[in-house]
Amino acid sequence: MVDMLIPYVKENGYSHIELMPLTEYPYDGSWGYQVNGYFSATSRYGNPKQLMYFIDQCHKNNIGVIMDFVPAHFVKDAHGLSMFDGGCVYEYPNIHDRYTEWDSCYFDFGREEVRSFLMSSVHFWANYYHVDGIRFDAISNLIFWAGNKSRGQNDGAITFMKRMNTKMAELFPSLMLIAEDSSDYPKVTHKVEDGGLGFDYKWDLGWMNDTLKYFKEDPVYRSNIDIHRKLTFSMMYFYSEKFILPISHDEVVHGKKTILDKMWGNNDQKFAQYKALHLYMMTRPGKKINFMGNELAEYKEWNEVDSLGWNLLDYPQHHSFFKYYNELNHLIKKNPAFYKADFSYDGFTWLVVDDNKQSIFAYERKTKSGKTFVCVLNFLGNTHIGYKIPVTNKGFYREVMNTDSY
């Protein structure tokens, strides 16, 4: 991976690599999300020293490494933590609280020993492997009992998260602590002393769901105000947290179709929509994560036993999209207007927000001392002559990217 993945990541303008859980797990098909070894790097990719070497080489090439971590539950396999001494050591003794929807065991967060065990594991990965970020899976299942808001908050798990985030921020101030949380629990990314959970970022799963629903719609229906608002609603709550906009592995498996295949229309229309989706995602506020393979514009769903469809780059339409995505990444990366003021009201201004009849959106991205970019999105694809976009700064504007050019 040092020789193949690092050059690929650099050439295509990525800043970080996020890896699925590296904590050891028994079943390939779980992708690492059902763990049995919280202090063991999975042997699938080599030994611990080799993983350390890979991360070190990423750092030498200015690439950060984020790893997934599963704090909510563990596998029931007898050689793991389940019924560790013949009784419930790591899991809840109450059978109604013990088992998850994934047929695994919830950690008993009411026990100090369990909280200490998981905090030590998180510390271990930051201290010995020097990861730059940890993305915590299924945080809503920690906040609420079994992820069910009607059952109330899990106070033991909330205590664990607050304590862990506080300690990790003290020991590793540059480490990114990322919550994959689908709930509406407030202040996930606020400091603990301000009543928050202490994470640095939260996945905006609401944005992801609304956006993909919008692009599945026939353009005939996009003028419907409820459909139109699927692209505007997320900015109503955006500044309440520090959000990451994710298009992850969960969206390209199990019959959900690939992102390209979710797009409305025939093949050409799907590609046009796909380019527009990524332009929208990359230019609006929020950090971004995109699952590897999406840049190839795959029609085949991801499968952990198969390679990605690298042969697709032999086809002009896929190669053109790949080139487009490369240039889009580099455009974002070299212009601070697209990332410096992500979480400041000064960095984003709607210019056209209510033209639902023509499904046109426009906004500005800017910094106080840099360039201003005007992003215009035409989600019907109709030609408009003399369409006026209001701007906040007088002057001449130069086109820097047009999806129809690829």
| CA dihedral for 234, 238, 241, 244, sign (positive or negative) | positive
Q: Give the residue from 192, 202, 131, 187 showing the smallest Cα distance to 166.
A: 192
Q: Which helix (DSSP H) or strand (DSSP E) does residue 349 occupy? A: strand 348-355
Q: Give the residue from 290, 277, 278, 276 showing the smallest Cα distance to 244.
A: 290
Residue 199 corresponds to which amino acid?
F
Q: Please count the residues of the chain.
A: 406
Marked catalytic residue, from 18, 132, 180, 181 = 180
Cα–Cα distance, 331 to 323 (Å, whole number): 12
Report yes or no: 367 and 347 within 8 Å, Cβ to Cβ: yes
Angle between helices 267-283 and 316-334 (to 10 degrees): 10
Is residue 91 annotated as part of the catalytic site, yes or no?
no
Which DSSP state fits 309? -
16, β-bridge pairs: 64
Q: Give the residue from 280, 316, 313 showing the smallest Cα distance to 298.
A: 313
CB environment 22-31: b (16+ within 10 A), e (fewer): bbbbeeeebb
Cα–Cα distance, 108 to 105 (Å, whole number): 9
Residue 290 dihedral angles phi and psi, to the nearest 5°: -130, 130
How many C-beta neighbours within 10 Å does residue 333 have?
14
Residue 227 corresponds to which amino acid?
I
Q: Which helix (DSSP H) or strand (DSSP E) does residue 376 occupy? A: strand 372-378
- Alpha carbon dihedral 267, 268, 273, 274, in 10-degree steps, equals 70
Residue 142 corresponds to which amino acid?
L
Is residue 193 annotated as part of the catalytic site, yes or no?
no
Q: Which residue's entry shows tokens 């699925």?
A: 20
Cα–Cα distance, 185 to 207 (Å, whole number): 16
Marked catalytic residue, from 68, 137, 295, 342 = 137
Cα–Cα distance, 348 to 342 (Å, whole number): 8
The set of residues, in sequence order, having a beta carbon less than 8 Å from that of 399 and lying 6+ positions away, is none
What residues act catalytically? 137, 180
